[in-house]
């Protein structure tokens, strides 16, 4: 019994010492933060002040502390702009200081260590990816290259509507529009279309929806840093499993394109899709920045995600 009490006392001393050291280090950093609620509670920060609807709670705090306020949510510092002038300072005047997105556990795990265009930190490589997007991947020339795909799918859509109406049946426009728009996107990205069953495109759509759900889920480790290693909600395993499935699909498509290019040659008449363009960029030599295989897969994932998750 005495041994247990001794260990308990040592643990409490260690815990209090850690808290004191952290508070001293924080004070020594002299962060010049905007005003905010006077009391920051242990572990939860200013969360008790945000019990009502979030936008209403922040508005009430801004009335008391000013248009630019600072709140602690768990262990995270959050600066809130509640006026047009303060928003302009953040979004325009000092945009480079605020342009990085917070790196969450899910975004780091699912996007190849934040290798995609949206989560990668601002810097030279981000500017390189932006240039590729504007000049190679999303340029007018590239979109013009896919005109025939869009035209053929629109024709197929109209034929389907005609067949259904000729049979005297009601046409459900939403599922038909989604199916044909799916086919346009997947043919532009990976050169494939869904046959309506449980094919590769349908499986990709399913796993991409899982990616979206994990990216939007509330993870305690994102807010309370000390809980990150424990993974109490089990999101760590879910992220790893989903990322593994996504990576297998992306690798399969890349290898299929590499084999087709090796068999037909780079200058074949086969219509290039997004993966072909990405492979061209990966193979470019003699540049300071180079598109990596991981960045290519991350970019393709984002392209697929933004359509499949919202339609």
- Indicate the pLDDT class of residue 157, thresholds 50, 70 and 90: very high
**SS3 for 70?**
strand
Contacts of 81 (CB under 8 A, 6+ apart): 67, 68, 87, 89, 90
Could you identify the residue written with the tokens 């290519």?
Answer: 296
**∠ Cα 151 154 159 (to 5°):** 125
Across the range 155-182, mean pLDDT stands at 89
Q: What are the beta bridge partners of residue 68?
A: 81
Q: What is the pLDDT of residue 28?
A: 42
Average confidence score pLDDT of the chain: 84
Residue 102 pLDDT > 90, yes or no? no
Highest mean pLDDT among 24-33, 133-142, 295-304: 295-304
Neighbours of 272 (CB within 10 A): 18
Distance CA(22)–CA(174), nearest Å, equals 56
Residue 16 pLDDT > 80, yes or no? no
Q: What is the pLDDT of residue 23?
A: 57
Could you identify the residue written with the tokens 């529009």?
Answer: 177
Q: What is the pLDDT of residue 159?
A: 94
Percent with pLDDT over 70 in the chain: 86
Q: What is the pLDDT of residue 235?
A: 92
Residue 74 pLDDT > 90, yes or no? no
Percent with pLDDT over 90 in the chain: 27
Pick from 200, 186, 224, 135: nearest CA to 303: 186
Distance CA(301)–CA(246), nearest Å, equals 8
Residue 242 pLDDT > 90, yes or no? yes
List phi, psi (to 5°) of 78: -130, 125
The lowest-confidence range among 20-24, 155-159, 183-187 is: 20-24
The architecture that CATH gives domain 124-308 is Orthogonal Bundle (1.10)
CB–CB of 75/226 below 8 Å?
Answer: yes
List phi, psi (to 5°) of 233: -90, -5
List phi, psi (to 5°) of 151: -65, -45
Q: For 245-279, how does the pLDDT look when each residue is reduced to its tens digit (9 = 90+)?
A: 999 999 999 999 999 888 887 666 677 888 998 99
Note the helical H segments in 33-172.
54-65, 84-88, 95-98, 105-110, 124-132, 140-145, 147-166
Contacts of 266 (CB under 8 A, 6+ apart): 280
Distance CA(85)–CA(67), nearest Å, equals 9
Residue 103 pLDDT > 50, yes or no? yes
C-alpha count within 13 angstroms, C-beta hemisphere, residue 103: 15
Pick from 146, 175, 148, 149: nearest CA to 160: 175
Pick from 284, 241, 282: nearest CA to 258: 282
Across the range 222-236, mean pLDDT stands at 87
Residue 200 pLDDT > 90, yes or no? no
Neighbours of 147 (CB within 10 A): 9
**∠ Cα 302 78 15 (to 5°):** 110
Residue 5 pLDDT > 70, yes or no? no
Across the range 62-68, mean pLDDT stands at 93
Q: Where in the chain is the domain with CATH 1.10.630.10?
A: 124-308
């Amino acid at each position: 019994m005495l041994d247990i009490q001794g260990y308990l006392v040592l643990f409490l001393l260690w815990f209090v010492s850690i808290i004191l050291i952290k508070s001293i280090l924080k004070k020594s950093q002299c962060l010049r933060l905007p005003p905010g609620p006077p009391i920051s509670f242990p572990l939860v920060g200013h969360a008790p002040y945000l019990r009502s609807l979030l936008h209403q709670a922040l508005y009430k705090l801004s009335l008391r502390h000013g248009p630019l306020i600072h709140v602690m949510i768990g262990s995270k510092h959050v600066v809130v702009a509640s006026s047009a002038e303060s928003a302009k300072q953040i979004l325009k005047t000092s945009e480079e200081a605020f342009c990085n997105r917070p790196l969450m556990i899910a975004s780091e795990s699912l996007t190849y260590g934040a290798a995609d265009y949206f989560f990668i930190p601002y810097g030279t490589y981000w500017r390189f990816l932006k240039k590729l997007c504007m000049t190679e991947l999303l340029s007018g020339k590239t979109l013009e290259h896919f005109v025939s795909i869009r035209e053929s799918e629109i024709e197929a859509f109209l034929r389907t509507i005609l067949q259904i109406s000729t049979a005297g049946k009601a046409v459900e426009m939403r599922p038909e529009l989604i199916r044909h728009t799916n086919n346009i996107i997947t043919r532009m990205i990976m050169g494939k279309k869904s046959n309506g069953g449980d094919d590769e495109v349908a499986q990709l759509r399913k796993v991409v929806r899982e990616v979206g759900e994990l990216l939007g889920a509330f993870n305690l480790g994102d807010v309370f840093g000390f809980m990150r290693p424990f993974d109490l909600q089990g999101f760590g395993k879910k992220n790893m499993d989903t990322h593994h499935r996504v990576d297998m699909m992306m690798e399969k498509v890349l290898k299929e394109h590499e084999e087709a290019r090796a068999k037909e040659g780079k200058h074949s008449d086969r219509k290039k899709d997004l993966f072909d363009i990405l492979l061209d960029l990966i193979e470019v030599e003699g540049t300071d920045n180079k598109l990596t295989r991981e960045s290519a897969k991350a970019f393709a994932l984002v392209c697929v995600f933004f359509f499949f998750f919202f339609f």
